[in-house]
Chains A and B, each alone.
Chain A
Amino acid sequence: MAEIRATKRLDITGDCCPITFVKTKLALEEMQPGEILEVLLAEGEPLNNVPRSLKFEGHKIHQVRKVGPNIYSLLVERGEDQ
Chain B
Amino acid sequence: MTPDFHELKKGGFIKQQGPGLFLMRLRTIGGHLTARDLENLAKVATEYGRGEVHLTTRQGVEIPGVRLEDYQALIEEIKALNLLPGACGPRVRSIVACPGKEVCPNGVLDTREMTREIDRAFFGREVPVKFKIAVAACFNACTKPRENDVGLQGIVYPELVAERCRLCGLCQSICPGGAIKIIDEKVTINRQKCYGDGACIASCPTSAWVEAARGFVVFVGGKMGRNPRLGYKMFDFVPEDEVIPLIDSILTVFEQKRKGQERLADTVKRLGPELFRQLVSFPGPGEALRKANMAR
Contact = CB atoms under 8 A, between A and B. Distances in A.
Given A47-B173, A72-B173, A52 B105 contact: yes
Contact of B203 (A48, A60, A65): A48
Name the interface size band of chain A.
Answer: 10 to 19
Q: Which of A49, A52, A56, A66 has the most CB of B within 10 A?
A: A52
Interface string A8-51: 00000000000000000000000000000000000100011101
A55 B203 contact: yes
B174 interface: yes
Interface in B198-229: 199, 202-205
A62 B169 contact: no
A18 to B, nearest CB: 10
List 10 tightest A-B contacts by C-beta distance, closest first.
A61-B205, A64-B168, A52-B203, A64-B170, A52-B202, A51-B203, A48-B174, A47-B174, A64-B169, A47-B173
A51 B169 CA distance: 12
Contacts of B202: 52, 55-56
Nearest to A48: B174
Name the interface size band of chain B.
Answer: 10 to 19
A7 B169 CA distance: 23
Contacts of A49: 105
Given A48-B174, A56-B105, 14 more contacts: A43-B173, A47-B174, A48-B203, A51-B203, A53-B105, A55-B202, A55-B203, A56-B202, A61-B170, A61-B205, A63-B168, A64-B170, A66-B173, A72-B173
A71 B199 CA distance: 19
Contacts of B170: 47, 51, 61, 64
Contacts of B199: 48, 52
A67 B199 CA distance: 22
A62 B169 CA distance: 12
Prevailing SS type, chain A contact patch = mixed
Nearest to B167: A64
Contacts of A1: 166
A65 B173 CA distance: 10
9 contacts: A1-B166, A47-B170, A47-B174, A51-B203, A52-B105, A52-B199, A62-B205, A64-B170, A65-B169
A3 to B, nearest CB: 14
A57 to B, nearest CB: 12
Interface string B173-189: 11000000000000000
A65 to B, nearest CB: 8
A64 B205 contact: yes
Contacts of A72: 173
Contacts of B105: 49, 52-53, 56
A32 B77 CA distance: 55
A64 to B, nearest CB: 4
Contact of A66 (B169, B203, B204): B169
A1 to B, nearest CB: 8
A14 B64 CA distance: 48
Nearest to B202: A52
Contacts of B203: 48, 51-52, 55
A53 B205 CA distance: 11
A33 B204 CA distance: 21
A48 B197 CA distance: 12
B100 to A, nearest CB: 16
A52 B204 CA distance: 7
Nearest to A63: B168
